C-alpha cells in the first residue's frame, strides 16, 4: 500500500542519512521535500570520497556489529535491514560497482563519491523528490510548523512527518554544525554532548620537534593501549606527526578509548613499538656494541633500523640519560610511552560521538515525545571507527527513519 497521497514528509539534511530517508519515503509513495542549509547536498559525503570513499566493510556480521561498541544493540536491527551486502547491491543499482580492498574495506571502483551521488540525486529527482537548498531549519513555530531561514527570508513549512538528518558537529563548513542540539534539548529530547570521534590528539611537542617533523609519517609502528578496565589493544600500521600531536588511521582506531581516558584522568598513555618485528634482547645487544666514531644517528640506523622521525620521537620523549643508555634505549624503542593531553577539537574530527539518545526513540527512530519527528545518521548517539562503519550506519538509520515516516503517513497519523 502506498503512503497517503498528498501527505508530505520533510527531510531536513541532505547527507547520506537524509537522502536515504528521502528515497525510502518517496518509494513508499509520500511526497518528499529535502531541505538543506547548504547550497548543495552531500558535501561531507563528497569530502569522504576525497581520501577514497570507504562505503562499508566486508568482515563477518558479528565482527562488523562489534564496531558499534556500546550501541551495538541499537544499531543491529537497523543494519539487519540494510547491511554491507545490501548496501553494495544498492550502489550497484546506481551503476556503481564496489570492490573489497586488501584490508576488507569496501570502496566504489574509482574510489570517489561524486559518481554515486550524481546518479543517486538523478534517481531521486526522477522519483519526484523536491530539493530546497539554502534552507536552514532553526525552530518550530507554536503550531509545530518548521521555520527555515532562506536567502529570501523566513519560510514556514508544514509537514505530516519530519526526518531530521542533520549530521554531527565535525567539519562545520560542510554543513553539519551541531546547531540542532539546543533546539532538541529545549523540547526535552535527551542529547548526549557531541564529542570528537576518529580524531587526532595533542601531545605538546617542543618547538624543535614540531618544526622538524610535523607532517612526517611514522611507519611501520605498533601502538599499544591498555584501557582502565585492562583491555589491551595492539595495532600495527602508521600515523602522522602533526604540529600539535598525532593523527591518522592507527590513532583514530583507538581514539574513543583515548578520548574517554583523557576525560577521566586528564591524559592517556600510548606505547609505541618503533621496531616491530625486532626482538628486544637482540636490539639491546646490537645497541650495546660500541659505536666507535659513528654518529648516534648512524648507529641507530645500522643497529636498530631506526631513523628520521623515529629518532626524533626517541629524543623528544626520552630523558637524555635513557637515550644514552643502550639497554634503556632498546627498551624505549620497543615500548616508547607517548602521552596524549587532549583530543583535537570536534570540528577537526572525522565524526562525532554523542547525539540523540536511542532511549528517546522508538523502533522507527521516531522521537517518542515529538510524534512524527524522526532522526537518522550521525546525529544519533553512536560512534564507530573508520572502515565504512559510519556511512553504513548513516544509510541504515536513514532507511529506518524514512520507512517509519512513510508508515506513519500511511496509517493516517
Ligand atoms: C574527511 C572525512 C572523511 C570521511 N570518510 C568516510 C569514509 O570513507 N567512510 C565512512 O563511512 N565515513 C566517512 N566519513 C564520515 C561520513 O562522511 C559521515 O559520517 C556522514 O556523512 C554522516 O552522514 P549524515 O547524513 O548523518 O550527516 P551529514 O553528511 O553531515 O549531512 C548533514 C546535512 O544536514 C545539513 N544540515 C545541518 N544542519 C542543518 C539545518 N539546521 N538546517 C538544514 N540543513 C542542515 C547539512 O548541511 C548537511 O548537508 C568521513 C568524514 C569526513 C569529515
With 50 as the cut, is the pLDDT of residue 62 above it?
yes
In sequence order, the β-bridge partners of residue 195 are 353
Q: Is the pLDDT of residue 20 over 60?
A: yes
pLDDT tens digits, one per residue of 154-197: 999 999 999 999 999 999 999 999 999 999 999 999 999 999 99
> Which DSSP symbol is given to 226?
E
Ligand 1 centre to CA of 71 (Å) is 19
Q: Is the CB of 38 under 6 A from ligand 1?
A: yes
- Ligand 1 close to Cβ of residue 54 (< 6 A): yes
Cell of 119: 546518479
Residues 357 and 379: their CA atoms lie apart, in Å, by: 9
Would the pLDDT of 6 be above 70?
A: no
44 lines ligand 1 (CB under 6 A): yes
388 CB within 6 A, ligand 1: yes
First to last CA, the chain: 15
Secondary element (H or E) of residue 91: helix 84-93
Of the candidates 172, 128, 134, 177, the one whose C-alpha atom is nearest the C-alpha of residue 155 is 134
Q: What is the pTM of this model?
A: 0.95
Ligand 1 geometric centre to CA of 44 (Å): 4
Distance in Å, CA 1 to ligand 1 centroid: 32
Average pLDDT over residues 356-380: 98
pLDDT at residue 4 in the model: 52
* Residue 203 Cβ contacting ligand 1 at under 6 Å: no
- The CA 77 to ligand 1 mean position distance, Å, reads 22
Answer yes or no: is the C-beta of 16 below 6 A from any ligand 1 atom.
yes
Query: Which of 350, 380, 398 for a ligand 1 pocket mutation test, highest count of atoms within 8 Å of Cβ?
Result: 350
Share of the chain above pLDDT 90, in %: 94
Ordered strands of the 130-132 beta sheet: 130-132, 31-35, 8-12, 161-164, 373-375
pLDDT at 228: 87
The per-residue pLDDT of the chain, averaged, comes to 96
Give the residue, out of 11, 14, 15, with the most ligand 1 atoms within 8 A of its beta carbon, to mutate for a pocket test.
15
Strands (E), 190-312: 191-197, 201-202, 217-226, 232-241, 245-247, 268-273
pLDDT for res 5: 53
Residue (of 398, 409, 406, 407) closest to 81 by Cα position: 398
pLDDT tens digit sequence for 256-310: 999 999 999 999 999 999 999 999 999 999 999 988 888 999 999 999 999 999 9
Q: State in Å: Cα 204 to ligand 1 middle.
A: 30
Closest CA to 374 of 161, 177, 190, 181: 161
How many whole angstroms from 195 Cα to the centroid of ligand 1? 15
β-strands 98-100, 146-150 pairing = unpaired
Burial class (CB in 10 A: 0-12, 13-18, 19+), 328: middle
Q: Output the pLDDT for position 292.
A: 86
Question: Is 175's C-beta closer than 6 angstroms to any atom of ligand 1?
Answer: yes
pLDDT tens digit string along 342-363?
999 999 999 999 999 999 999 9
Contact 227, 261 (CB under 8 A): yes
Per-residue pLDDT at 85 exceeds 70: yes
Mutate which of 33, 175, 184, 197 for ligand 1 pocket (most atoms within 8 A of beta carbon): 175
Cα–Cα distance measured from residue 83 to residue 25, given in angstroms and rounded to the nearest whole number: 19
Give 347's Cβ-side CA count (13 Å radius): 6
Amino acid at each position: 500500500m502506498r503512503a497517503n497521497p498528498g501527505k508530505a514528509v520533510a527531510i531536513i539534511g541532505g547527507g547520506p542519512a537524509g537522502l536515504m530517508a528521502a528515497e525510502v519515503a518517496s518509494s513508499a509513495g509520500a511526497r518528499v521535500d529535502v531541505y538543506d542549509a547548504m547550497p548543495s547536498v552531500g558535501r561531507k559525503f563528497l569530502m569522504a570520497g576525497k581520501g577514497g570513499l570507504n562505503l562499508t566493510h566486508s568482515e563477518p556480521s558479528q565482527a562488523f556489529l562489534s564496531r558499534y561498541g556500546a550501541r551495538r544493540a541499537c544499531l543491529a536491527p537497523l543494519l539487519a535491514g540494510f547491511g554491507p551486502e545490501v548496501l553494495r547491491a544498492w550502489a550497484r543499482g546506481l551503476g556503481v560497482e564496489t570492490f573489497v580492498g586488501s584490508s576488507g574495506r569496501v570502496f566504489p571502483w574509482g574510489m570517489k563519491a561524486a559518481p554515486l551521488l550524481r546518479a543517486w540525486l538523478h534517481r531521486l529527482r526522477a522519483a519526484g523528490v523536491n530539493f530546497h537548498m539554502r534552507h536552514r531549519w532553526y525552530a518550530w513555530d507554536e503550531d509545530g510548523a518548521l521555520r527555515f531561514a532562506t536567502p529570501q527570508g523566513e519560510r514556514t513549512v508544514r509537514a505530516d512527518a519530519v526526518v531530521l538528518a542533520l549530521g554531527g558537529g565535525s567539519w562545520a563548513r560542510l554543513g553539519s554544525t551541531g546547531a540542532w542540539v539546543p533546539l532538541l534539548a529545549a523540547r526535552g529530547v535527551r542529547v548526549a554532548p557531541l564529542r570528537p570521534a576518529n580524531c587526532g590528539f595533542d601531545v605538546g611537542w617542543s618547538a624543535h620537534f614540531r618544526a622538524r617533523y610535523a607532517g612526517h609519517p611514522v611507519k611501520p609502528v605498533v601502538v599499544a593501549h591498555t584501557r582502565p578496565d585492562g583491555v589491551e589493544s595492539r595495532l600495527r600500521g602508521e600515523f602522522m606527526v602533526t604540529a600539535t600531536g598525532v593523527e591518522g588511521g592507527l590513532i583514530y582506531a583507538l581514539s574513543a578509548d583515548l578520548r574517554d581516558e583523557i576525560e577521566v584522568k586528564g591524559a592517556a598513555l600510548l606505547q609505541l613499538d618503533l621496531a616491530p618485528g625486532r626482538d628486544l634482547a637482540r636490539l639491546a645487544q646490537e645497541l650495546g656494541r660500541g659505536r666507535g666514531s659513528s654518529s648516534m644517528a648512524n648507529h641507530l640506523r645500522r643497529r636498530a633500523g631506526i631513523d628520521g622521525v623515529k629518532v626524533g620521537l626517541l629524543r623528544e620523549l626520552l630523558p637524555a640519560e635513557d637515550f644514552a643508555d643502550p639497554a634503556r634505549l632498546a627498551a624505549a624503542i620497543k615500548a616508547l610511552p607517548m602521552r596524549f593531553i587532549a583530543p583535537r577539537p570536534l570540528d577537526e574530527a572525522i565524526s562525532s560521538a554523542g547525539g540523540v539518545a536511542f532511549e528517546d526513540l522508538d523502533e522507527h527512530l521516531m522521537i517518542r515525545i515529538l510524534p512524527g519527528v524522526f532522526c537518522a545518521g550521525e546525529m544519533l548517539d553512536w560512534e564507530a571507527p573508520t572502515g565504512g562503519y559510519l556511512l553504513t550506519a548513516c544509510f541504515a538509520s536513514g532507511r529506518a527513519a524514512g520507512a517509519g515516516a512513510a508508515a506513519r503517513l500511511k496509517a493516517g497519523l
